[in-house]
Amino acid sequence: MQVLLHDGMQTMLNWIENKIIKYKDWAKEEPRYVGVPRMNSINKYLARNLKIKVNTKIKKLEKGASWSLLDDEGNKYSEFDWVITASSSSSC
């Protein structure tokens, strides 16, 4: 987290709202952070040296000794330690 703070990719979360529905004192808990200037800034920063393939529809995930993925065009991507997925809010 300190590297992200130092490089300006995140900052402390500070809620400012017109209406407070529920108040929670976060001073007693761990700090919350947000990406700067957008939430995806943290992801982009962490992935800056990675080969990323976007706009790919994965149809199948398989877990063996490592992860393998099969896309909707029949292309196989394999030997991953981790798989991170995301979907748009409109598809949820």
Domain positions in the chain? 1-50, 53-84
3-state class of 51 per DSSP? Answer: coil
> How many other C-beta atoms are found inside a 10 Å radius of the C-beta of residue 10?
19
Rounded to whole angstroms, the Cα distance separating 63 from 54 reads 21
Q: Put residue 2 in one of left, alpha, beta given phi > 0 → left and psi -120 to 50 → alpha.
A: alpha
pLDDT in tens, 2-58: 676 667 766 665 555 555 555 666 677 777 777 888 888 888 998 999 888 888 899
Query: How confident is residue 86, by pLDDT bands cut at 50, 70 and 90?
Result: confident
